[in-house]
Structure formats: structure tokens, C-alpha cells
Chains A and B, each alone.
Chain A
Amino acid sequence: EADIYQTPRYLVIGTGKKITLECSQTMGHDKMYWYQQDPGMELHLIHYSYGVNSTEKGDLSSESTVSRIRTEHFPLTLESARPSHTSQYLCASRGRLNSPLHFGNGTRLTVT
């Protein structure tokens, strides 16, 4: 079973600040994903990566950026946080084709 970790679990930050949400997995999965989700609502794919140095934007337009320098690490950065960024951010990874997505515990971000 995949182990995937997200930090911080909760974050409250002021408008205009730069933040980075961390996501790491220990299973050597090539594919990693970031989803944005308001509590209990549908998931929106914002970024994904199929391997090192590969990143793509997802279906939902996002002002965030990602990087994939190492297989195990897929951080998401907001250069200037706004109240509209308040949401839960879920990181996921996947091994072989058509295997399940394994999710981290999520980061609940509040921008004041």
C-alpha cells in the first residue's frame, strides 16, 4: 500500500503570502496528482505529473504551480495567496496503469 504524506495538515495565511504545500510518497510511483476540493464537494484536477520533469495543468484553471524534480516529491506553490484559494488540496499518486489512486490526508488552506 502506498504511503503518501502531505504537510501542513492545516494552514491559515494572509492574503498575498507565498505558500508551498508539500507532498511526498514513498512507493516510487511515477504518476502524481493535485486535486482541489471544497469540503464534501467534487474533486477538481489542477496539476499532474507522469514522472520527473513532467508537469501538466489539469481541468481546473489554477494560479498555482508545481514541480517534479524528484520522483517522490511533488510540491504545489501559490505565489500570492487570495481568499478564493481557500479550499482543501489533495495530493495523490499512482503506480502501474489503472491501479487505484492513493491519496494523502490533504491540506486545508484558509486565506484571510
Chain B
Amino acid sequence: AQKVTQAQTEISVVEKEDVTLDCVYETRDTTYYLFWYKQPPSGELVFLIRRNSFDEQNEISGRYSWNFQKSTSSFNFTITASQVVDSAVYFCALSDANTGNQFYFGTGTSLTVIP
């Protein structure tokens, strides 16, 4: 069965600190996709990144970076030099190739960046 675990419920950091949000997933499929979404206080979910199971290269986009490790079934998200605007709830999600119509979301990590 597919499952996504975000063990960190809430994290607080001081502005300019780096922070890593953990995501661990379970799936029996060899082909799958992982996603991160950001949900700011306004409520909408904003897509950040998609990664497929065959691409283990880490990705960097500005202050954001993602570390995908199949050996530990993890897809962690790091924000460098955090800013107040990064305060949001972040969701990790899994979609497998066989039943690709379904998304499996983690329970989310609430990040507060203190000025």
C-alpha cells in the first residue's frame, strides 16, 4: 500500500536559518512520482516540484532544494536562508504509475519562520 509520512508536525525557525522538511514514502511500485506542495495561510495549494522514481538527482531552485534517496525512501525538502514568506504548511505526496490517478498526501509540516 502507498503511504507518505511527514513526521514533523510543526517546525519553527528564526529567519535566515536553514530548515529541512522530511518526507518518507512507501510503495511497492518501481515507477512512481513524488511531489511537494506549499499551502500558505491563504489556503491554496501551490505545486513546487515533481520527481520521478528514476531520477535521483538532487534539484535546486533558488533557496529550495530537494534530496531524493531511494535507498531510504525519502524525499526531503530544504529551505536555505529561510524568510517569513516561507511560513506555510508543506505537503509531500506520492503518485504511482499503476494507479496514477490517485495521490497520497502526507499529513503536512507546518513551518513558522520567526522574524
Interface size on A, residues (CB 8 A): 25
| Cβ contacts under 8 Å, B63 to chain A | none
Question: When the two chains form their complex, are residues B108 and A103 in contact, meaning their CB atoms are under 8 A apart?
Answer: no
Interface string of B81-96 (1 = CB under 8 A from A): 0000000010101010
Question: When the two chains form their complex, are residues B91 and A104 in contact, meaning their CB atoms are under 8 A apart?
Answer: no
Question: When the two chains form their complex, are residues A43 and B91 in contact, meaning their CB atoms are under 8 A apart?
Answer: yes
Contacting B44 at CB < 8 Å: which of A31, A50, A106?
A106
Contacting A102 at CB < 8 Å: which of B33, B47, B52, B91?
B47
Chain B contact-residue range equals 20 to 34
On whether A98 and B33 interact (CB within 8 A), knowing A40-B89, A40-B110, the answer reads yes
Question: When the two chains form their complex, are residues A105 and B108 in contact, meaning their CB atoms are under 8 A apart?
Answer: no
- Chain B residue nearest to A50 (CB atoms) is B101
Question: When the two chains form their complex, are residues B44 and A41 in contact, meaning their CB atoms are under 8 A apart?
Answer: no
Q: Does B107 contact A (CB under 8 A)?
A: yes
Question: When the two chains form their complex, are residues A40 and B39 in contact, meaning their CB atoms are under 8 A apart?
Answer: yes
| Cβ contacts under 8 Å, A97 to chain B | 97, 100-101
Within 8 A of A (CB), among B2-46: 33, 35, 37, 39, 42-46
- Chain B residue nearest to A4 (CB atoms) is B44
| Cβ contacts under 8 Å, B47 to chain A | 100-103
Interface string of A88-112 (1 = CB under 8 A from B): 1010101001111111111010000
- Chain A residue nearest to B49 (CB atoms) is A100
A-B contact pairs, 27 of them (CB 8 A): A31-B101, A39-B43, A40-B39, A40-B89, A40-B108, A42-B106, A42-B107, A42-B108, A43-B91, A43-B105, A45-B102, A50-B101, A88-B43, A94-B101, A97-B100, A98-B50, A98-B100, A100-B35, A101-B35, A101-B93, A102-B47, A103-B37, A103-B44, A103-B47, A104-B44, A105-B44, A106-B44
Measuring CB to CB, which residues of chain A are less than 8 angstroms from any residue of chain B?
Answer: 31, 33, 39-43, 45, 48, 50, 88, 90, 92, 94, 97-106, 108
